Amino acid sequence: MAVELKPFEPAVRALADALRARGWRIATAESCTGGLVAAACTMVAGSSDWFERGWVSYSNAAKTELLGVPAALIAAHGAVSEPVARAMAEGALLRAGVDLAAAITGVAGPGGGTPAKPAGTVWLALGARGAAGAPQIQAERLQLDGDRSAVREQTVAVALARLHEAAARHPAAAGRRTDPGHGG
């Protein structure tokens, strides 16, 4: 069963309003959601005002090549871990030059889980630019129920909510452009 994006439209519109008010742009780095957060964001007309880019970094190699996640970090902690989610968020934040980035890595299921990381385990990390421009990264572990589609759908909902909360909480970054001059 595919994840339906239309129900996310109110959350995306609220996020868009918060980002536009600050002149902010976001990026996403997604593994188990396979680009669903980016797809939800870009389904709304005008998203090019605030959505810069998204990466689907499903494999470990993609996390390393696209986002700069050290292979040794993945080897030490596993792809589904707080350190890797944090590194993905920082990589997306710095590579895209945005104000806010979300990173998602997890086990959507039904297979692939372990006793320590069962299906439904998802790490969500947000990266924001601090007052001096230095990345500020926070992460949370989600333990979600349901089949693969349900886990992915719940993850998108939480990611959109956390992005909105972060945008509303942080002051506007100085010197950021408000007119990106391009679109999708």
- Kindly report, residue by residue over 94-136, the tens digit of the pLDDT: 999 999 999 999 999 999 999 999 999 999 999 998 878 789 9
Structure letter (DSSP) for residue 127: E
Contact 80, 125 (CB under 8 A): no
Which residues have C-beta within 8 Å of that of residue 67, sequence separation ≥ 6? 29, 55, 57, 87, 88, 91, 92, 95, 103
- Kindly report, residue by residue over 95-106, the tens digit of the pLDDT: 999 999 999 999
* Residue 117 main-chain phi, psi, to 5 deg: -135, 75
- For residues 31 and 106, what is the distance between their CA atoms, to the nearest angstrom? 7
pTM for the whole thing?
A: 0.92
CA 69 to each of CA 66, 73, 157, 162: distance values in angstroms, whole numbers, following the listed order: 8, 7, 25, 22
- For residues 120 and 32, what is the distance between their CA atoms, to the nearest angstrom? 10
**What is the fold of 6-169?**
Maf protein (3.90.950)
- Kindly report, residue by residue over 154-176, the tens digit of the pLDDT: 999 999 999 999 999 866 545 44
Which residues have C-beta within 8 Å of that of residue 115, sequence separation ≥ 6? none
**What residue spans define the domains of the chain?**
6-169
Helix (H) or strand (E) segment spanning residue 156: helix 148-169
